[in-house]
Amino acid sequence: MSENPTTTDGAKERVVLAYSGGLDTSVAIGWIGERTGAEVVAVAVDVGQGGEDLEVIRQRALDCGAVEAYVADAREEFATEYCMPALQANAMYMDAYPLVSALSRPVIVKHLVRAARQFGATTVAHGCTGKGNDQVRFEVGITSLAPDLKCLAPVRDLALTRDVAIEYANKHQLPIETTKHNPFSIDQNVWGRAIETGFLEDIWNAPTKDVYSYTDDPTYPPLPDEVVITFEQGVPVAIDGQAVTPLQAIQEMNRRAGAQGIGRIDIVEDRLVGIKSREVYEAPGAMALIAAHTELENVTIEREQARFKKTVGQRWTELVYDGQWFSPLKNSLDAFVADTQRYVSGDIRMVLHGGRATVTGRRSEQSLYDFNLATYDTGDAYDQSQAKGFIEIFGMTSKLSAARDVTFGNGVDLGAGKLTAGA
């Protein structure tokens, strides 16, 4: 961006900034203006991170020098259009992390691009560093939706370090707290909470109690909590018989599973940029819902389809983690996942207690579980006499291969041990 950019009609160029209301992005408003000469439009998107009212954040952005402030309550949108597809895919990066931060980036990106169009901006800015995944998620997402827009990261590109931010805020008397620095880097939304940096960077250090906010200590849990979750086509629609929206389902399970200490995750994670990073997460609602949904799929999805869905779900998860929400492959995998959910309807009963969400019951009108086939009691409808022929056919290729190996001296070495009868 040039030092004093203007548009063809003589007006200043505009930069849309992803704005959290905190120190760094508040300082970034004036910092970007001074370094580039552009006007800054602040964009705040609520995805359930809690904290201050959107109107308070909007006014702070204006007080810090933004020429416009765009705010959006995207909680329902985030829950329905982003968290639910992740639930249907059983999305768990490295079999552990339910994509807490990664899921929120594309919905924020969509609003950033929308604001850029609305206010005539040519550049979109974000507060990410050059070491993390989010810079990729934001910039790939932005250029996927709007290839003409440029991207700017003040911390990475304009040397806006934290000590510089504090000095700038004090010098310009910005209406933002500058004296205390949380030892952790925290990102949270309705799907969960991510905590990193500080003493957690030493991977031998155990998390302390002050790390957690969404979950209570599972060591001393309250009495067991039994819950029945009703799904329709892979989406929770009722809890204990009470109708819920996707957002309400997540919030209710955050409350109940969180009270039992469910959803604490501590892993060394493979970042997209090639760094291994120690990450601590809390995702009580997400983990409980994924456990329930996975078990309902076990009841309702055909075996081969279920096996292949695990592969699709893993690739879907990797794409979302890597910032490819808007990619062609992700869109194609969406279609497969959606097709698998046609019969994923029914009830799952779970007991929440002491850090665990344990499924104790399942029922579905679309169930593939046939009691008469599964039972070993009188009335068994399974014709066991057919099993012998099935085994002969199923094992035929292995039998032929083994016979060839024996003929050419390549049979399995059974060892020199001797078999003895009796005790």
DSSP per-residue letters across 133-190: SHHHHHHHHHHHH-TT-EEE-HHHHS---HHHHHHHHHHTT-SS--S---SSEEEEET
20 is in an annotated binding site: yes
Q: What is the C-alpha to C-alpha distance for residues 158 and 152, in angstroms, rounded to an integer?
A: 9
Q: What is the C-alpha to C-alpha distance for residues 225 and 228, in angstroms, rounded to an integer?
A: 10
According to CATH, the topology of domain 186-301+343-363 is Argininosuccinate synthetase, chain A, domain 2 (3.90.1260)
Per-residue pLDDT tens, the chain, 423 aa: give them.
Answer: 444 455 555 578 999 999 999 888 999 999 999 999 999 999 999 999 988 899 999 999 999 999 999 999 999 999 999 999 999 999 999 999 999 999 999 999 999 999 999 999 999 999 998 888 999 999 999 999 999 999 999 989 988 888 888 899 999 999 887 655 667 888 999 999 999 888 999 999 999 999 999 999 999 999 999 999 999 999 999 999 999 999 999 999 999 999 999 999 999 999 998 999 999 999 999 999 999 999 999 999 999 999 999 999 999 999 999 999 999 999 999 999 999 999 999 999 999 999 999 999 999 999 999 877 777 776 777 788 888 899 999 999 999 999 988 898 887 787 766 656 555
Q: How far apart are the first and last CA of the chain?
A: 84
Closest CA to 92 of 232, 269, 348: 269
Is residue 29 within 8 Å of 66, Cβ to Cβ?
yes
Task: Cite the active site residues.
Answer: 24, 105, 134, 185
Q: What are phi and psi of 62, to 5 degrees?
A: -65, -40
Q: What is the C-alpha to C-alpha distance for residues 334 and 311, in angstroms, rounded to an integer?
A: 13
Length of the chain equals 423
For residue 74, give both structure tokens: 């995207």
CA angle 312, 314, 318 (to 5 degrees): 115
Identify the pLDDT of residue 213: 95
Domain residue ranges of the chain, discontinuous segments joined by +: 14-181, 186-301+343-363
133 is in an annotated binding site: yes
Identify the pLDDT of residue 99: 98
14-181 matches 186-301+343-363 in fold = no
The domain 14-181 having CATH identifier 3.40.50.620: the answer here is yes
281 is in an annotated binding site: yes
24 is in an annotated binding site: yes
Identify the pLDDT of residue 4: 46
407 is in an annotated binding site: no
